[in-house]
Amino acid sequence: MTGKKSVNTVKKNNNNSLPLIIGRSEHNVSRKNFSPNAIKVLYRLKDGGYDAYLVGGCIRDVLLGVEPKDFDVVTNATPEQVKRLFRNCRLIGRRFRLAHIVFGREIIEVATMRGHHEGNESKNPISQSSTEGQLLRDNVYGTIDEDAERRDFSINALYYSINDFSIHDYANGMDAIKNRRIELIGHPETRYREDPVRMLRAIRFATKLDMQIAPETEAPIYELADLLANIPAARLFEEVLKLFLNGKAEANFLALRQYGLFKELFPALDLIFEQSTTGEELKFIRQMFINTDLRINADKKVTPAFVFAALLWYPLVQRAEQLMQENRLDEYEAYTQAGNEVVAINSQQIAVPKRFTLGAREIWQIQLRLPKRGGQRAYRLAQQPRFRAAYDFLLLRAQVTPEPLQELATWWTEYQKKENVGQKQMVKELPNDKPATRRRKPRRRYPNKKPSQSSDS
């Protein structure tokens, strides 16, 4: 993969290790592997008098024979200087300021080289840490050596230079790729405390790239899992999507449970897993992720609404049953109120956007309506925008608990295959197919008024 070590190695900063500079003839990474827009950004920065490199995942993926999808650029230009070079630039981020260069639907992310917090007061840093060591704001700029040390994993500390097309390896990333090993740069516990999301990223990279987490990188995760409670709920939503919508959802789910991270993301569901006597709930979620992986790997769409409808289904059922028993609510009212509560509680950990929680609620509500097929109800239900997702949800439930759901799932499968006449016949053959009639309120009777007595009598 890498060939011989280049003679162009230079001494690294203060830890006496050598960064490896691998010449163009000694690696298989070409400009053709990258987005033309990313190359444009590199040359514009270079022509503007700045250093610029492609960094991280795109280099790693090409070396592994995987087609890269995201192209990140690092430069010694500040975000404001980048913005002056590109009219199609917008600055984002508070924790660390970034520049997004927009080319239609493609965004090239440009970051200024990060520096160390200690001893950087002269560089006008804007940084802030919590009492637990988490970096809350991180706008500290530095050199490429410092930036490499600030990277999370060694496989992501690889830099592609547009000047001579060489790869700069600052943390033995080439070795880690060769040995298929996920390892943090620096002291693992300190790095996890700086950003607890790195625990999730370690799992995601390990499953995505078919690698093993190095023992020293793995060890602190069990004890530090609860630090995820300090991460903003909106950021955790984005991380959960990366874990569960990348074609490796089942493997990520099992790893999250293994390391004690799943209970920090979905505590109510994890408690149900622990208390279950049948294992039905765990089987249901695992099957949902298996189905999700199959769809994604077949280039089919999966909506987050479906995934969250499944993840919150058993907490919803549990709460609805409590409400029916304690408050004597009917089924529809109980599920509606339980849905409000479950979504609100979940938002404390993961802030799911309203467009997805609304979709999840519709999937849940249709589950209550699927058994009621008499009259025009089956036809009207099949016209609902969320019907197909709700039908798939029913099939998932029937996979786990065949009785009595399998018969209902089979009926709806056959119903969708029929023409209009056949659908009407299926409805007629249902027992008690007449829809329940709504009882009219009895008319209120008023007593007859007595004739007023004449004052002359």
Q: Label residue 103 exposed, middle or buried (CB < 10 Å: 0-12, 13-18, 19+).
A: middle
Pairing of strands 135-139, 158-161: unpaired
Mapped onto helix, strand or coil, the DSSP state of residue 423 is: helix
Reading phi first (left if > 0) and then psi (alpha if -120 to 50, else beta), residue 165 is in left
Q: Is 70 an active-site residue? A: yes
DSSP structure string for 61-96: HHHTT------EEEESS-HHHHHHH-TTEEEE-SSS
Mapped onto helix, strand or coil, the DSSP state of residue 446 is: coil
Q: Is the preceding peptide bond at 404 cis, omega within 30 degrees of 0? A: yes
Sorted by sequence, the CB contacts under 8 Å of residue 105 that are 6+ apart come out as none
**Spatial distance between the Cα atoms of 192 and 199, rounded to a whole number of angstroms:** 7
Sorted by sequence, the CB contacts under 8 Å of residue 282 that are 6+ apart come out as 273, 276
Phi then psi for residue 73, to 5 deg, are: -115, 140
Among 72, 138, 147, 293, which one carries the catalytic annotation? 72
Q: Label residue 136 exposed, middle or buried (CB < 10 Å: 0-12, 13-18, 19+).
A: exposed
Among 138, 145, 152, 270, which one carries the catalytic annotation? 152
Q: Is 169 an active-site residue? A: no
Sorted by sequence, the CB contacts under 8 Å of residue 363 that are 6+ apart come out as 305, 306, 309, 386, 389, 390, 393
**Spatial distance between the Cα atoms of 164 and 443, rounded to a whole number of angstroms:** 90
Catalytic machinery residues: 70, 72, 152
